[in-house]
Amino acid sequence: MTVAGDGDHPADPGRELLLLRHAKSDWNTGAATDFDRPLNVRGRQDAPRLGKWLYTVGLVPDLVLASPARRARQTARRVCKALGYPRESILWEPRLYEAGPGTLIGCLQALSGMPRRVLLVAHNPGLEELLRHLCGALETPADGKLLPTAALARLAMPADWRRLESGCARLLGLVRPRDLPR
């Protein structure tokens, strides 16, 4: 498995998809529903670090598509602030909450304007299932978590967002907050 820690990337990878699982959430807030669970301290720290890293290595998205669940909203806003991406430009897609790979693919296929690089902020297990669908067989890390909280997978995608068949993408890198410089 490739780890994208140094910022190197192909000269012209074409279309890219950045899959970001929301940062670590707080289970002890008394939130009325799972949808309303906020980030915990670590999550509030990891999200901007990831955004800063994305900016530093030149992986600024053309479009950010995010789940409106509280922890995903907080993650997307913190990442985008560090990236300099306008928060009013984030597209909040209700279907991304608890979405399986079919729904996630449908949301990507519906993109208009054919953006070159998309950041998708959502939840597991759907994101991991989408990653495995798009890239085919992937080695599971020793800890059993392909996409733990605040992990980002970078994929080279087909030229057309509407063509997202199984195995159509290539994993360019996978980064976790612990891999990032402090």
Q: How far apart are CA 138 and CA 147, in angstroms?
A: 12
Q: Would you say 89 is a known binding-site residue?
A: no
Q: Would you say 112 is a known binding-site residue?
A: no
For residue 79, give the 3-state DSSP assignment. helix
Per annotation, catalytic residue among 16, 88, 98, 123: 98
Q: Read off φ and ψ for residue 47, nearest 5 degrees.
A: -60, -50
- 133 in catalytic set: no
Q: Would you say 42 is a known binding-site residue?
A: no
Per annotation, catalytic residue among 16, 22, 93, 133: 22
Q: How far apart are CA 7 and CA 160, in angstroms?
A: 25
Q: Would you say 53 is a known binding-site residue?
A: no
Tokens of 182: 């402090």
Q: Would you say 179 is a known binding-site residue?
A: no
Q: Which amino acid is at 57?
A: V
For residue 39, give the 3-state DSSP assignment. strand
- 16 in catalytic set: no
Closest CA to 126 of 157, 102, 160, 148: 102
Q: Would you say 25 is a known binding-site residue?
A: yes
Q: Would you say 15 is a known binding-site residue?
A: no
| Helix H or strand E segment including 142 | none
Give the annotated binding-site residues for substrate: 21-28, 71
Catalytic residues: 22, 98
Binding site, by residue number, is: 21-28, 71
